[in-house]
Amino acid sequence: MCKIIVLRIKSLTCSWSKSKIALGLTWAAIFSLLGLTLSQAGDKAPVSLNDQASGAQVAGAGVSGVQTQAPVQNGSLGSSKPGATASSQKLIVAALGKRLSAEIKTRGFKPGAAAFIRIFKQSSKLEIWLQDEARAKRYRRFKTYEICKWSGKIGPKIYEGDLQSPEGFYAFSPWHLRPVSRNHRAIDIGFPNAFDIALKRSGSDIQIHGKCGSVGCFAMTDKGVDEIFRMIAAAFGGGQNEIMVHIFPFRMTDQAMNRHKAHRWAGFWSNLKPAYDAFEASHIPPKIEICGGNYRTRSFARSRVSKIAAANAASCIKLEAPTLSVAARRRALARAMKPKPRIKIRCNLKRPSCRKWLFLQKRILARKSAAKSRLRHRTANRQRQ
Which residues make beta-bridge pairs with 129?
116, 141
Residues 6+ apart with CB under 8 A from 40: 31
Among 114, 174, 172, CA closest to 335:
174
Which residue is catalytic, options 148, 176, 184, 217? 217
Sign, CA dihedral 52-53-54-55, equals positive
User: Using CA atoms, how far apart are residues 33 and 53, in angstroms rounded to an integer?
Assistant: 23
209 is catalytic: yes
Which residue is catalytic, options 176, 209, 246, 283? 209
Among 341, 234, 323, 244, CA closest to 288:
244
Sign, CA dihedral 310-316-320-325, equals positive
Could you tell me if 218 and 208 are in contact, meaning their C-beta atoms sit under 8 angstroms apart? Answer: yes
User: Using CA atoms, how far apart are residues 167 and 38, in angstroms rounded to an integer?
Assistant: 60
* Residue 27, phi then psi, degrees to nearest 5: -65, -35
148 is catalytic: no
Coil/strand/helix, residue 337: helix
Beta-carbon count within 10 A of 229 CB: 25
Helix (H) or strand (E) holding 365: helix 352-384
Beta-carbon count within 10 A of 142 CB: 20
Q: Would you name the residues annotated as active-site residues?
A: 209, 217
